[in-house]
Amino acid sequence: MKIYLDLLLFLNFFLDFILLLCVSLILKRNAKLKRLLLASLVGALSIFSLFYPFNSFTLFLLKAVISIFMVLISFGFKDIKYTINNIIYLYLVSIILGGALYLINDSLAYKNTGLIFYHNGFSINLVLVFILSPIILFIYVKKQRKLKEEYVKKYEVKITFLNGKTKLLTGFLDTGNNLYDPYKKRPIIVINKSVLGSYNPRCILVPCKTVNKESLLKCFKIKKIIINGKKIETECLVGITDNNFGIEGVDLLLHEKLIKEDLK
């Protein structure tokens, strides 16, 4: 049987793209289209590994590493749990798509090489690509619009610490965050301790009220904060918490005052 490498690359690229697109839709990842395309290209180029005499175990490891790279390129790295979740869903969608193709193979008596099915030299994958791609792209665009509405309270936050180091984080506008420094009336944004890494800032204790009790919150000063590309002039403090916010992908809780007064 003749193998047309360009067609094989094309089909592999689009099948990988469909897989990543499905993962993005299922998990509601706000993935950029260009990142999905780049990851699909990496996956498509992995087809060349089939032409080398790797043993089964080496080939398995190679495919596992490539799938991890595809996920990191598509959705970035937030934490281990976030990345593992993406990888698991990539494999689940792959299994479902592969199962569907094998079902077609059994029903229509198509021959196959891996996930490439053909009959009299004509690939059914090509037909599926052209049928499914516009449908999935339409759903993707529709979901992206919905995600933008749902995540309108999410902001890109760049914090510069007093030591000059910067962190690019995802902030969430928590309308329930009414924390202020009682001494100078500075608004307080709350950050998860794990985000700080090895940075050990000099903290002050700020009294704050929660639903059930009063407590002291460790806070520290920062050099600069930029939200959605705009420098915030209002002086604020950063409070440290060990608790998770319960919102996937969010690193800190923003104060409403910073958004209302500085991001008009």
Domain that holds residue 195: 154-262
Q: Please identify, among 115, 150, 185, the residue that sits at the C-terminal boundary of a domain.
A: 150
Question: Half-sphere exposure of residue 263, counting CA atoms within 13 Å on the CB side?
Answer: 20
Q: How many domains does the chain have?
A: 2
Q: Please report the pLDDT score of residue 182 as a whole number.
A: 85
**Residues for the chain: how many in total?**
264
Q: Please identify, among 150, 175, 196, the residue that sits at the C-terminal boundary of a domain.
A: 150
Hey, which residues does 208 pair with through a beta bridge? Answer: 215
Question: Same domain for 143 and 55?
Answer: yes
Question: Same domain for 35 and 139?
Answer: yes
Q: Please report the pLDDT score of residue 119 as a whole number.
A: 47
Question: Same domain for 132 and 20?
Answer: yes
Question: Same domain for 58 and 180?
Answer: no
Q: Please report the pLDDT score of residue 262 as a whole number.
A: 59
In tens digits, the chain (264 residues) has pLDDT values of 455 566 677 778 888 888 888 888 788 777 888 899 999 898 888 877 767 777 777 878 888 888 899 999 999 888 888 889 899 988 888 887 766 665 555 555 444 444 444 444 445 555 565 666 666 666 666 666 665 655 557 888 999 999 888 989 888 887 777 888 888 889 999 998 888 888 888 898 888 776 556 788 899 999 999 988 888 888 899 999 888 777 777 888 888 888 776 555
Q: Please report the pLDDT score of residue 122 as a whole number.
A: 46
Q: How far apart are CA 133 and CA 139, in angstroms?
A: 10
DSSP string, 111-128: EEETTEEEETTEEHHHHH
Q: Please report the pLDDT score of residue 19 as a whole number.
A: 85
Question: Same domain for 74 and 60?
Answer: yes
Nearest to 158 by CA among 72, 47, 84, 232: 232
CATH of the domain at 179: 2.40.70.10
- Tally of CB atoms within 10 A around 56: 7
Q: Please report the pLDDT score of residue 118 as a whole number.
A: 47
Question: Same domain for 92 and 130?
Answer: yes
Q: Please identify, among 95, 126, 150, the residue that sits at the C-terminal boundary of a domain.
A: 150
pTM of the predicted structure, to 2 decimals: 0.48
Q: How far apart are CA 107 and CA 19, in angstroms?
A: 23
Question: Same domain for 42 and 136?
Answer: yes
Q: Please report the pLDDT score of residue 17 as a whole number.
A: 87
Q: Please report the pLDDT score of residue 24 as a whole number.
A: 84
CA distances from 183 to 175, 201, 205, 240 (A): 22, 20, 11, 18
SS (H, E, C) 53-65: CCCHHHHHHHHHH
